[in-house]
Amino acid sequence: MQKVTVKSQPQPYTVAITNSRHSWIGDEPNDLGGADAGPTPFELLLSSIGACVVITVQMYARRKSWPLEGVTLDLEHVKIQAADCADCKTETGQISQIKLRLDLQGALSEEQRERIFQIAGRCPVKRSLEAEIKFRSELV
């Protein structure tokens, strides 16, 4: 089980986030009333996906002894109209779209690059978000 705790701070919209080993800050930008002291909630979400993809790719290449020297992944979250998405199940309203752009460094063959790209799509965090998620909330 993985767990984090998020606590409000005196500055509006700034939150302190901790787990059993690390601490970091989340916030909103100044134009939304925050202090811009850390990433926004969506940036934190993108960072979780990005870290998982890059780590998954590195693990796979290492296991195969492939010459992967570095990985750069750019992620972008946008809201789009469901009607503009040909392959989406949702037909009305807006949906979130996350774009990933993967740059692999190293003397990899085209076959290795393609396989690593396929493996990148299988990172556990990304797969969790693509599957059904059930939130169980309680007020304490």
| pLDDT per residue as tens digits for the range 27-83 | 999 999 999 999 999 999 999 999 999 999 999 999 999 999 999 999 999 999 888
- Using CB atoms within 10 Å of the CB of residue 2, give its burial: 0 to 12 exposed, 13 to 18 middle, 19+ buried: exposed
Whole-number mean pLDDT of the chain? Answer: 95
Can you tell me the mean pLDDT for 1-24?
A: 94
Other CB atoms within 10 A of residue 11 CB: 14
Residue from 91, 101, 94 nearest 78 by CA? 94
- Six-digit token string for 84: 């503009």
Residue 5 has pLDDT above 90, yes or no: yes
Find the mean pLDDT for residues 123-140.
95
Per-residue pLDDT band for 86 (boundaries 50, 70, 90) equals confident
CB 126 within 8 A of CB 45: no
Q: What is the pTM of this model?
A: 0.89
Residue 95 DSSP symbol: E
**Is 29:36 a contact under the CB 8 Å cutoff?**
yes
